[in-house]
Each structure stands twice: as structure tokens, then as C-alpha cells.
Amino acid sequence: MRRVRLRVLGLAAGAVLLSAPPFAGLAFAQTPMDDPLDARDAKRMDRMEKVVRELRDIVFHAQKTGAPVVVQPADTDARIAEQASKITDLEQTLTKLNGTLEAATHELDQAQRDNSALKNQLKALSDRLSADEQKMAEAAAAAPPPAPPPPPEASPQPADNKAAAADAFAKARQLMLSGDYDAAEGAFSSYVTTYPDTTKTPEARYWWGKTLMVRGDNIKAAGAFIGAIRGWPQTAWAPDAVVELSRALVGVKKPADACETLAELKRRYPKAPAAVTTRAAAVRAQAKCA
């Protein structure tokens, strides 16, 4: 209703402008009003003046060109209609995006379920394979005893024999320090065979076991370490030999024996270096000791 009144007022004002001199409308628009207007009345007056100017331009244009007067729809209504159309398009786009997102979410949930089922199948297969490997290892090798018996008394060695033994041990140790583990393994093995009863024989067995562990021969390495710690010698390398024996036992699928050996480490060598106890804890976790 308000728009109709404004348009009527606009048409009336336009008629007045047509009958008056060309500058009469301009004089009217520029004449200040005595009464103050609030913000709403000022906006209404602005719209009325705009309509009057538009009507005047249309009539003047028609007078000059002789073309029929065509009243275009209000610019505000056209913009509102345009924005409404854009909003409708946006709503349709959002609806499509929501549908696509729901489909992708469903596919992701399905993929996660499939992945979980596949993990369970792989775990079951891995458990079966581990059980089969353990049975094969138990059938292939006997379990070494965790607690070695006391060492035999070393027989006296001639002076020249002692010198040859010392020289052979030094050469084998140098080969290992240089990184030639294959040659060091042969040298320590030869030393143990040639000099089975010297004071250096237990240590030679220890280093021999180290070279065997590098090659992955856990069964022979376990035997070498057992010979090295027989009698639980109080030497600097003995605690590490116990840890290495435990590692070899884990390698041949004997975790229970490894746990027993690690228990003896704490009892036999309570002052073992921190580096050795740290490695022992790692082996204990690997063997799943209680």
C-alpha cells in the first residue's frame, strides 16, 4: 500500500514538473523544509524525489524522441529478484554438496570396516606363522641350559704355548676391531679349538659368539656364550655375555630360557653397567618376560 502511495505521489509530482517551467522541479527539490524530518521521513522523501526525477527524465526523453513511454520495473525489485535467484542456486548447490559428502562419508566408513577386518585376518595369519616357526625351531635345535656348570680347571701351559695363544688371541681381536667379522669368527673359533683351557678361552668364546650373532647364527652363538659364562666369571665382559645369550635364545624361539638367563643376570651381576641393563630390559620386553 505504501509503494502505491509513493508511486501516486511521484506521478503527481511529475505532472506538476511537466506543466511548470524547466527549473521549477529543481527549485522545489532545493527548497528547505521548515519542519525537521526524522530518518524514516527523510528516506521516504529521497525515494519520492528519485521517482520524480526518473519520471521527468522519461517524459523529457519521450518529448525529444517521440518514442512511447515505457515504465521499467523498480531497480530495487529487480535486484531483490536477482538475489533471490542466486540464493536459490546456492541452496541447490549446497544440497548437492551435502549429498556428495554423505556418500563419501559412507564410503569412508565402509573402507575403515574393511581395513579393520583385513588387519584381523593378517594378525591371525601372523600368529599361525609364528607358532609354526617356533615348532620348527624347537624341532631343529635343543634348548641350551640357562645355568652353566662350573668351569674345569685350566691345565698348565708351556711358556711357548702361552705366547702363541696370546698372539692368536690378539690377532683375532684385531680382526674384529677392524670390522672383518668373517675372519674374526674363524680366528676365535680356531683359538677355542686350539687352546681350550687357557685363561683367555672364555673371553675368546664371548667374542666368537659376538661374531656369530653378526652373521645371525643364533644356535652356535648361544653355545659360545654358554661356554663363555660357565661358572659366572667376574669379568667386565661377563654381564654383556649374559645379555647376548638371552638375545640368542630369543632368536631360536626360546623366550622362557631367555627370561631365566636375564633373571640370573640381576642376581649374578647386580652392579652391571647401565648400558648392559638397558639392553637387558629391551631383550626382556622382546621375550615378554613376566
Question: Which CATH number fits the domain that encloses residue 240?
Answer: 1.25.40.10
pLDDT at 76 (0 to 100): 64
The position carrying cell 518529448 is 63
pLDDT at 138 (0 to 100): 59
The sign of the CA dihedral 76, 79, 85, 91 is: negative
Residue that is last in its domain, among 107, 140, 173? 140
pLDDT at 273 (0 to 100): 95
**Which residue range(s) make up the domain with 95?**
82-140
Residue 95 lies in a domain: yes
Helix 181-194 and helix 201-215, axial crossing angle in degrees, nearest 10: 150
> Per the structure block, which three cell numbers stand in for 98?
551435502
* Closest of 284, 279, 238 to residue 257, by C-alpha: 284
Residue 76 lies in a domain: no
What total number of domains does the chain contain?
Answer: 3
Q: Are residues 196 and 243 in the same domain?
A: yes
Query: Distance (Å, rounded) from C-alpha 173 to C-alpha 179?
Result: 10
Q: Are residues 48 and 99 in the same domain?
A: no
Is the separation of the CB atoms in 225 and 206 below 8 Å?
yes
Residue 149 lies in a domain: no
Q: Are residues 178 and 91 in the same domain?
A: no
* Closest of 194, 190, 184 to residue 214, by C-alpha: 184
Query: Distance (Å, rounded) from C-alpha 65 to C-alpha 53?
Result: 18
Q: Are residues 173 and 135 in the same domain?
A: no
Residue 147 lies in a domain: no
pLDDT at 222 (0 to 100): 94
* CA-derived radius of gyration, the chain: 50
pLDDT, one tens digit per residue, over 12-67 is 444 444 444 443 444 444 455 545 556 777 787 888 888 788 777 777 776 777 76
Q: Are residues 169 and 273 in the same domain?
A: yes
Residue that is last in its domain, among 18, 33, 65? 65
pLDDT at 109 (0 to 100): 76
Residue 152 lies in a domain: no
Neighbours of 207 (CB within 10 A): 25
Q: Are residues 109 and 37 in the same domain?
A: no
- Residue 145 gets which letter from DSSP? P
Q: Are residues 278 and 180 in the same domain?
A: yes
pLDDT tens, the chain, 290 aa long: 444 343 434 444 444 444 444 434 444 444 555 455 567 777 878 888 887 887 777 777 767 777 665 555 555 666 777 788 888 888 888 888 888 888 888 787 777 776 676 577 657 655 655 665 565 555 445 545 444 544 444 444 455 688 899 999 999 999 999 999 999 999 999 999 999 999 999 999 999 999 999 989 999 999 999 999 999 999 999 999 999 999 999 999 999 999 999 999 989 999 999 999 999 999 999 999 98
Query: Distance (Å, rounded) from C-alpha 209 to C-alpha 218?
Result: 9
Q: Are residues 165 and 283 in the same domain?
A: yes
Q: Are residues 107 and 207 in the same domain?
A: no
Residue 151 lies in a domain: no
Q: Are residues 23 and 87 in the same domain?
A: no
Q: Are residues 271 and 164 in the same domain?
A: yes
Residue that is last in its domain, among 17, 38, 65? 65
Query: Distance (Å, rounded) from C-alpha 255 to C-alpha 279?
Result: 16
93: exposed, middle or buried (Cβ count in 10 Å: 0-12, 13-18, 19+)? exposed
- Residue 244 gets which letter from DSSP? H
pLDDT at 53 (0 to 100): 84
